[in-house]
Amino acid sequence: MREITPGVVHWTATHPRIHSEVSSYWLVPERVVLNPMLPPEGVRAFGAEPPVAVLLTNRHHYRDAERFVEAFGASVHAPVTGLHEFTPDQNVRGYEDGDEPAPGVRARAIGAISDDEYALVVPRAGAVAVADGVVRRGEDAPLSFVSDGLMGDDPEEVKRGLREAYRRLADEEEFDTLLIAHGAPLVGGAREALRAFVSDQS
């Protein structure tokens, strides 16, 4: 686990279903974890003021959320359009565009790749968490889309929708860090990098 910007801790773990490394984040002052797998240290890593909420940027990122519920009594929040993925006893709460699913974290709908593709804006940290629409395949890698095979029947239409949504996000929000669910976070210059990415893809 590594603090990548004040109050934002990043770690990776192997996802048991897709067998690849995925990224999770702990917003320390907000007491929120994003798309969490358990870190190698387990729940002990979170100390005396552990997370009280788990936020998912889409329905597929439940990951180890249940472990945070069991250990800390944390609430779990996902886009309302993805709640059909969960059972009633998982007690996942829905959020919509513009909501604050946890204090200090605001939801922005992205859509295009799926109805429940969302970004989560953390103004205190100058950060935005993104789901699956944009990925980064390593510390020095550029931003990219997921492979066409994961974009349904019309990948080019999905990419058009993602470009429009991310262009709006970059125009309307102030941020310097991207907290990417699949790949390394981008710390510093993230807003400009996202703008350049969607422009290059036009």
Q: Encoding tokens for residue 76?
A: 């779990």
Q: How far is CA 41 from CA 20, 53, 160, in A?
A: 19, 19, 40
Question: What pLDDT shows up at residue 45?
Answer: 93
Q: By the 8 A CB rule, do 142 and 180 touch? A: no
What domains are there in the chain, each with its CATH number? Answer: 2-200 (3.60.15.10)
Which parts of 35-189 are beta strand (E)?
53-55, 75-79, 92-95, 106-109, 118-122, 127-130, 135-136, 143-144, 177-180, 186-187
In this prediction, what percent of the chain has a pLDDT beyond 70? 98
Low-confidence ranges of the chain (pLDDT < 50): none
Question: What pLDDT shows up at residue 19?
Answer: 62
Give the number of other CB atoms < 10 A from CB of residue 71. 15
Question: What pLDDT shows up at residue 18?
Answer: 65
